[in-house]
Every structure is written in structure tokens, then in C-alpha cells.
A and B are shown apart, each in its own frame.
Chain A
Amino acid sequence: MVSIVVVRRVKPVPYFIVPILALLIGIGVSIVILFFLTGYMVQPMDVLISIWTGLTQPNVIANIFLILTIVGFSLSMSFKGGIYNIGGEGQFWMATWMIVWLVFTTPIIVSQAPLVSKLVALATGFAAGFAWGLLAGILRGYVGVDEVPLTLMMNYVAYYLIDWLVMLPGRPWRDIYGYAKTRSLPQTLQYSIIPGTTVSVEMILVTIVIGVLIWFMLDFTRLGLTIKIHGSNVNLLRSAGYSVPLTAALALALSGGFIGVAGIVYLCGVTPSIRIPVETTTSGFGYLGILVTWLSMLELFAVPIAAYVVSSLYNAGFTLMAIKGTQQAGVTAGVTNVFMGSVLLTYALLITISEYEIRIVW
């Protein structure tokens, strides 16, 4: 009788093999799925062309790339701590809401000089994302609620809360013409896009700063070390005298804070208003970021590389549907999910071969 035996490897394989294989196989699987499920409408060539277009048009995907890089860095912080922050969407959008609310109800932000107001906006975004993440972090750390369903459901709560708040009648943030969106942010807060691209100097700077900051925090501070040890051996952390619940809560909250910054970058640099209903208009960066972080194998330097690939895939979804003439929002998002799910699944399966050898025994 044949059976499969799994044995731990004595020396692991080079770590980049798995993400690359996962991408290739995942895309291959997606091609097959799309081909058959759309009744042969979506041909393999179409998919490959759309991915290629995405990869080779950095201008088009640059803004997505930067935002995904920020989210990827932020999620690394919590994932390295063993905390699976699936609540990026909620943290992202609560940050955007916080800014919109502040901008249209108080003069705190807008009365400052443009540079200062932009910095305050980023800081506020961090605070909002941090708070939203901290809520989940406390429940996870101190009560032990599983953070995956918790943060995920908090995404829904955030979506619906914002939907409700934006559409409250007679509020200063409502769109003047009554459309289902908020008023646009004032020009002083909006980032100026470099002509010929989709990005601004501010976006590039923020991305770099956050990358360096998170790298420093994780690798050179005691806080970062405790987060990493929390992800490796919780008992060790406890016997070293640290508070395990606090570490868990902080890991979630900090990653939420940085994702909040991504939200501000999005609002100031891509779309200056929140469009309702959020659950259908969101690009899903909070979720796409998970793919980025996983593909980067939690190595910070690989995050931008993974982000580039994922933004190409994201763009491929749009391009593909444009080719087919069926630019239905739902189907486009669906195609992205097919890519994302296939690649993630392949990755989750392949990651075992990096640490383990699989033997067939007769």
C-alpha cells in the first residue's frame, strides 16, 4: 500500500521559490477556471495578455502599488506576531471616515498650512486605524476571541457604519448634489499627481517612510522583538515577563494604524471622497494586502516586489473584463478574487515543501 510520509527538511529550500511557483501555478489554475466557467469566453491568451499589460504598465498601477506596499508593510507587523489581521478594510475605511468627518466639521485640519494639514491628516488616519485595530486587539489579547472572524466582521460593521453616517441628511460632509458620496476633500489636502503618472511625491515619501519605520520597529526595537517572539513562542514571552495580551493587542493596533495611513494616502491621492456603499466601491486593499504580505514570506524587502505583482493582477482583472466588454463591477472583483484565491491557495500548499520533504512510501 502506498502512503505519504512527511519529514522535516534538514536544510530548507531558498525562500523565493515558493512565491514564484505559487504565482505561476495559481495563475495557471485561474486560467483554467476562468476558461471553463465563463463558457470558454475568457481565453487563456486573454488572461495572459491582461496580466502582461498590468506588469508592464507601471504608470497605471503605480498608485495601487504604493498603497498595497503600505498595507503589506503594515500587515507584516501583525502577521509576524502571529496575529492575522484580516480587518485591514475596516481600519482603512475608518481612517478615511475620520478625516472626512474632521475636515468637514472642525477647522483643525484645514486651517493649517498645506504641509502641516497633510501631516496631521496622516497622523489622524494612523490614530483612527490604530483605535479600530485596538478594539479587536483587546478582544483578541485579553478575551481570546479569534481575530480572523472578529476583524472580518468588524470590516462589515465599519462598512455599514460609514454607509449610514455618510448618508445622514443635512450633514456638512454630504455631497452637494445628493449623490451617494461625501464632498471631496479640499484641494489643500489632496496630493498633486505627477503628470504622466498616477502617483504624487507625497505618496512615494509616505510609502518609503513607513517602510523604514516598520523595518526599524520590527528589527531594532524591543517592542518589535516582543511582537516577533509572540508570533514564535507565546510561552517564552510570558516567562520573560512580558504581557502577552498587551503584545497581541499592540500588534493588531499598530498594524491597523499603519493601514489607516494607507487609507489617508488613498483618500488624498486617489479618490478624494468616500463613495457609498463602501462594501461595493472598495478596491479591497485590506484583503489584497494579505496576499502581498504572504507572498513576501514576511520578509520586508520582498513586500514591494509582491505588491507590484499583486497590483498587476488587480489591474489584470479590469483589463480582462474590458477586453470582454463585460465591465461589470462584480465580475471584475470576482476575477481578482479568483486570481487571489488561487495564488493564495497554491502558496499555502507549497509553503510546506519549503520546510518539509514529502516522501512516498511503498
Chain B
Amino acid sequence: MDVALTGFLDILISSGGLFVAFYLMALGHSIVEKSGILNLAIDGMFALSATLAFFADVYYGNDLLKSFLLPAVVIALFGLFMAFVVTKFPVSHGAVGLSLMFLMYGLSSVIGYGPRIVQATMPNFSPGISLSLEERIAGYLTMVALSIFAYWFIEKTKIGVSIKASGEDPAAAEALGVNVLASRLVAAAIGFSMIGLGGAAYMNFYVRLWDERAVILSGYGWLAFSIALSGGRHPLVVLLTSFIFSILVHSSLQLVAWYGISRELSYSLPFIVAIISMTIYMATPLRRLLASPKGLGRIYFREERTV
């Protein structure tokens, strides 16, 4: 019993970095989607931001400020582009999102290649830092504080209500006086930069290495997507779902040690759980209690015909 508890605590502590990464990505994604923008590019953004963090780490000697800032800015720029384009033109959110995803996978491969070669020449170098216990606890607490701030921002301020309105029904929101484009750009600036920070956190606090399987083929962006969806895109609930998934992903490796299941099989577990959690969300009253924005992903086109 003691062993299990210590074991669980170990997992809790050592998955701290992953929790921060997942929560930042899921919260950022939630804010973006609350404004009505369907973000299917999240996995590409994850790969690209982790890669950019790696790039900064290698070329600037683990300067964490640059390592977090670079991905945040780059992803925010892509995101602002996406927000502008899907609001101003009758463009499919899904198509733009998926294309950006592929493009970002490609960019990650090309950008990551150089630093990896350079890293090979630096024997004792690892990107990021190893977090101490206090730092991990601080990380958890910071995320809780962030969730409270995000909740206040979205639910209790005019800008937050404008963002929600843009996500529910952009045409009605405009008629009510909301500048839908501005609201979405604000949501995008905040949300997408958070996604960038999340990927950087993954690189710097958790995985601390770069290769295709850890970064581009990990699919963790999609896990963040499910985390946000099953948490109803609610800053406080997503805290919980991020926590559960970070524990799950991290301990799936432990399951290999404890139950002797194959490593490959354990990789599939988080995805199976993600699919199950999305199904549970859709199939239960959760779907109405923590409903998606009604206008999520809908093409916003103002000039309609008269019939």
C-alpha cells in the first residue's frame, strides 16, 4: 500500500512538466475555440513549438526566455493569420487547420534537423532544465492560478463575453455590437501563444530531446485537443482533465514495468483513453452542461440570400 502511494506520488511529481505542457496547450486551445475558431492545427503547433524551443535551446545555450518566447510568438502569428482568414472569408476552419498541421509538421522536420546535428557535437548538452521538487510544485500552483485568471477573463469581463458571443453566433454578436474580428484576434493572440508555451514546456521540462517520434509523431497535440474537449473548454475543468492525462501518459511507461505489457501497447493507451473520454463527453449530459460553442467551426458569411 505504501509502495503504491509513493509510486503514485512519484508519478505525480515527475509528470509535473507534462501537466504544465498539457494544461497550457489545452487552455490556449480552449480560449481559441471559445471564440468560434476550430483549431485542427494543434498537433502541428505542438510539434513546431517544441521544435522551436529545441532550436532556441541549442543555439542560445538553454536561454529559457528565448526558448519560450520564440514558439509563443511564432505560433501566435500563425494563429492570428488563421483567425483573420476564417473570420473575414468564408473559408473552412477544418481545411485551414489541417493544412497548417501538415505544413507545421514539415517545418518541424526541416527546422529540427540543424540543431540536432549541432547537438551531437555538444556531449553534455540537454535542452531545457531538470525541475526540482519545489519548482514542480510551483508549476502546479501556477497553473491553478492561471486557470482562475482565465475563468475570470472569459466569464466576468466584457472582452471575455465578446469572445464567447463570437463563438456562439458571430452574426448575432455583430448585430449586438461586438467586433467579432477583434475579439477573435484577441482570443487568438492569447490562446495560440499559450499553445506555443505549452510545446516549449514539453521540450524544456519534460521530454528534453528532439526526434521525430518524441515530437512530430507523438500525437500529443491531439491529446491536448481531447483534454480540452472533454473538459468542456472550461478553464477549471480542463485543469482536471489535463491532470488526469498527464498522469496517464506518464504512468503508461510505468505500466510497462509494473504489468509487463509491451511498450508499444502502452503508447496506444493514452489515445484509447482520449477516444473514450471524447465519447463519454458526447454521450452524456456533459455535452449539454459544458457545451461547445454553437458556432464553433461554422463558416461565417454575412451576405445571405433572402429566402
Contact = CB atoms under 8 A, between A and B. Distances in A.
Chain A in direct contact with chain B (Cβ < 8 angstroms): yes
A150 B94 CA distance: 14
For A84, A338, A339, A358, which residue has the most chain B Cβ atoms within 10 angstroms?
A: A338
Contacts of B213: 277, 279-280
A326 to B, nearest CB: 8
A279 B217 contact: yes
A150 B278 contact: yes
Contacts of A139: 275, 279
B165 interface: no
Contacts of A336: 106
A336 B102 CA distance: 9
B212 A280 contact: yes
B114 A156 contact: no
Size class of the contact patch on chain A: 35 or more
Contacts of B44: 341
Interface in A1-27: 4-8
B279 A330 contact: no
B113 A352 contact: no
Contacts of A55: none
Interface stretch (A95-103, A107-115, A296-304, A343-351): A343-351
Contacts of A342: 99, 103
A161 interface: yes
Interface string B251-263: 0000000000010
A152 B222 contact: yes
A333 B222 CA distance: 20
A9 to B, nearest CB: 11
Contact of A330 (B104, B113, B226, B302): B113
A121 interface: no
Given A149-B226, A294-B95, A160 B265 contact: yes
Contact of B91 (A33, A145, A159, A349): A349
A334 interface: yes
Interface stretch (B9-17, B82-90, B183-191, B231-239): B82-90
A38 B110 contact: yes
B271 A6 contact: no
A4 B102 contact: no
A148 interface: yes
A163 B265 CA distance: 8
A336 B111 CA distance: 14
B219 interface: yes
A335 interface: yes
A53 B283 CA distance: 51
B178 interface: no
Interface string A314-328: 000000000000101
Nearest to A164: B264
Contact of A164 (B89, B262, B274, B303): B262
A344 B95 contact: yes
A290 B99 CA distance: 10
Contacts of A279: 213, 217
A331 B101 CA distance: 16
A344 B94 CA distance: 11
Contacts of A157: 268, 271-272, 275
A337 interface: yes
B224 to A, nearest CB: 10
A298 B17 CA distance: 44
A353 to B, nearest CB: 9
B40 A337 contact: no
B105 A341 contact: yes
B96 interface: yes
Contacts of B111: 37
Contacts of B104: 341
B301 A6 contact: yes
A245 to B, nearest CB: 12
Contact of B89 (A33, A149, A152, A349): A349
A340 B219 contact: no
A290 B94 CA distance: 12
Given A156-B219, A334-B108, A334-B109, A344 B98 contact: yes
B289 to A, nearest CB: 15
B83 to A, nearest CB: 14
Nearest to A337: B106
A331 B91 contact: no
A153 B222 contact: yes
B92 interface: yes
Nearest to A340: B102
A315 to B, nearest CB: 16
Contacts of B264: 160-161, 163-164, 167, 277
B153 interface: no
A272 B44 CA distance: 32
B267 interface: yes
A167 B305 contact: no
Contact of B106 (A156, A164, A328, A340): A340
Interface of B: 40, 43-44, 85, 88-92, 94-96, 98-114, 211-213, 216-217, 219, 222, 225-226, 229, 262, 264-265, 267-268, 271-272, 274-275, 278-279, 282-283, 287, 301-303, 305
Closest 5 CB pairs of A and B: A334-B109, A341-B103, A337-B106, A338-B106, A344-B99
12 contacts: A8-B301, A33-B107, A145-B275, A148-B94, A148-B98, A152-B43, A157-B268, A160-B264, A331-B110, A341-B102, A342-B99, A348-B91
